[in-house]
């Protein structure tokens, strides 16, 4: 036995046309099969709500229903509720627009573009103004982007100017953009001979880009409306300028921090020294303590990068690398040979070379395990 249509829609008998339409729209959105793929009862609830609205949404059919109930539509007394719907189709245009993103007039816009802008590290850190040249589609200057040679437009014969056509199948009545005019409702009588009715031409656009201080490799800057022009004068797309920071000969960036390697002579490492190291805006000095080993790291606070996402600059980490001297002359070689002779005694050598002696001990333990 069929339920009362007012009960199905959840409205009182005194409900006005707008309340009934609103109630049906809510139920249709809730119970549409595409929104409830795992609910086998959703199609039945959807159909029941559609039948109720087909009757209550029409003043004449509602009057018959109020007087005779369901009997008004049985035995040929009136159009059966399962017949193709009338008023329900108007609501379905809105509903399918919400569910599928279609329904009404098609929103056309130009394509978004991507441009890779290469910067030096110094430019990325400090910020810079750049002039770029982007090949793109721009509005045709001869027809002002309309695509029409003389500016005359005709009513679309397919949709009769509405910009929408309706497709109906059983209980479904879907409104969608007209395939002939793309939802505009009007068509071009005489296409522009320069752009062939497209409203766009290929050109190169020159743009000024303000790069903020602290951008990093892979960051993007969005220039709204600077993408491709839309067809027939529609809204243009956006341009995304993607930052690529070139490899630096000294510094390597890691987030807000910078890293660099600083070569020192082995005498400086052994005896200690004060050396000059580079920073982004010049140079500064650091003190190398005696007995410094290769790989030891020195941290310079605040000498890194202040990115666009941070309030404070990062740090600079300097890693020292002890260099082996090359191209020695005879005198230098003799000094080194005399120096090396002081390590002839094994115990003396172990005392001055902790890493080397530790390595030798580990090798001995390894071979002992291997030989069992």
Helix, strand, or coil (residue 132): strand
Indicate the domain borders of the chain: 5-100, 108-150+194-246, 153-188, 252-323, 330-371
Task: Please give the Cα distance from 96 to 104 (Å, whole number).
Answer: 9
Task: Check: CB of residue 137 under 8 Å from CB of residue 166.
Answer: no
Name the nearest CA neighbour of 139 among 200, 188, 53.
200
The residues facing 261 across adjacent strands are 319
Per residue in 54-85, pLDDT (tens digit) is 889 888 888 888 888 887 776 544 444 343 34
Does residue 158 surpass a pLDDT of 60?
A: yes
Per residue in 19-29, pLDDT (tens digit) is 998 888 888 87
Q: Supply the mean pLDDT for the chain.
A: 83
Kind and range of the H or E run holding 349: helix 346-352
Q: Which CATH superfamily is domain 252-323 in?
A: Urease metallochaperone UreE, N-terminal domain (2.60.260.20)
Q: Which CATH superfamily is domain 5-100 in?
A: DnaJ domain (1.10.287.110)
CA of residue 117 relative to chain centroid, distance: 17
How much is the average pLDDT of 123-150?
91
Kind and range of the H or E run holding 303: none
Q: Which residue has the tokens 């070569």?
A: 263
Name the nearest CA neighbour of 204 among 128, 115, 118.
115
User: Is it true that 5-100 and 108-150+194-246 share their CATH fold?
Assistant: no
Which pLDDT value is given to residue 77?
46
The CATH number of 108-150+194-246 is which of 3.20.20.20, 3.40.50.12160, 2.60.260.20, 3.30.460.10?
2.60.260.20
Strand locations in the chain (E): 113-119, 128-139, 153-155, 164-169, 172-177, 186-188, 200-211, 220-223, 239-245, 252-254, 257-265, 273-279, 282-288, 297-300, 316-323
Report strand pairing: 172-177 vs 186-188. Answer: unpaired
């Amino acid at each position: 036995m069929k339920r009362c249509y007012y009960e199905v829609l959840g409205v009182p008998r005194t409900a006005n046309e707008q309340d009934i339409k609103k109630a049906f729209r809510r139920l249709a959105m809730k119970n549409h099969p595409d929104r409830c793929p795992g609910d086998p009862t959703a199609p039945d609830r959807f159909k029941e709500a559609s039948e109720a609205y087909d009757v209550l949404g029409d003043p004449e059919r509602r009057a018959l229903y109020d007087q005779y109930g369901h009997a008004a539509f049985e035995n040929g007394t009136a159009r059966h509720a399962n017949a193709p719907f009338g008023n329900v189709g108007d609501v379905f245009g809105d509903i399918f627009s919400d569910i599928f993103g279609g329904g009404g007039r098609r929103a056309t816009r130009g394509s978004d573009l991507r441009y890779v802008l290469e910067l030096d590290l110094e430019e990325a850190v400090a910020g810079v103004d750049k002039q770029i040249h982007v090949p793109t589609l721009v509005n045709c200057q001869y027809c002002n982007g309309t695509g029409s040679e003389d500016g005359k437009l005709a009513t679309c014969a397919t949709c009769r100017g509405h910009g929408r056509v309706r497709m109906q199948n059983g209980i479904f009545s879907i409104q969608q953009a007209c395939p002939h005019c793309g939802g505009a409702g009007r068509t071009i009588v005489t296409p522009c001979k320069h752009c062939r009715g497209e409203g766009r031409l290929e050109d190169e656009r020159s743009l000024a880009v303000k790069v903020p201080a602290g951008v990093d490799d892979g960051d993007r800057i969005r220039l709204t409306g600077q993408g491709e022009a839309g067809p027939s004068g529609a809204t243009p797309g956006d341009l995304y300028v993607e930052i690529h920071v070139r490899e630096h000969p000294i510094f390597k960036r890691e987030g807000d921090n910078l890293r660099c390697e600083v070569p020192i002579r082995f005498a400086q490492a052994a005896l200690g020294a004060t050396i000059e190291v580079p920073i982004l805006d010049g140079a500064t000095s650091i003190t190398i303590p005696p007995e410094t080993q290769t790989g030891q790291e020195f941290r310079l606070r605040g000498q890194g990068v202040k990115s666009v996402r941070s309030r404070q600059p990062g740090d600079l980490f300097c890693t020292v690398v002890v260099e082996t001297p090359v191209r020695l002359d005879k005198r230098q070689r003799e000094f080194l040979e005399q120096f090396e002779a002081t390590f002839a005694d094994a115990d003396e050598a172990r005392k001055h070379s902790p890493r080397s002696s530790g390595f030798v001990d580990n090798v001995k333990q390894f071979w002992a395990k291997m030989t069992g």
